[in-house]
Amino acid sequence: MRCTAQLCFYKRYCDYVFGNETEAKIFSKVRGWETESIEEIALKISALPKASGTRKRVTVITQGADPVVVAEDGKVTLFPVILLPKEKLVDTNGAGDSFVGGFLSQLVKEKSIVDCVKAGNYAANVVIQRSGCIFPEKPDFQ
């Protein structure tokens, strides 16, 4: 999981934890949670203790073509991804990192989680339509 899971969970400093469904299931297994439900795993990760009580942890798990799972404040929200015809899918390398970059681009602007996920989905969608992690010269994200 991004935000280097070992560092974040043992040091307990991460406000936002990102991962994909495979990483989430492995993390659940290692922790002995005995569940493969992405929504349940996201809730459990967001509820792990933090060193600072100033903010609650938000967990964001991507699932390829399936909805993005966001857990915060004991609730899970599912966000649909941008549907892409199979013939436009070129290369998924960098999709997760692109999602995180898009998400964080709006988080630093203090946008809502909805806007953050929208930007993450946009960035990942653009990257998977190209060979290698390449962005167009002029992105059109609103």
Active site residues: 97
> CA 99 → CA 69, 103, 115, 124, distances in Å?
13, 6, 12, 5
DSSP string, 45-111: HHHS--S-SSS--EEEEEETTEEEEEEETTEEEEEPPPP--GGG----TTHHHHHHHHHHHHHTTT-
Residue bearing tokens 């390449």: 134
Instruction: Check residue 17 and report its DSSP letter.
Output: E
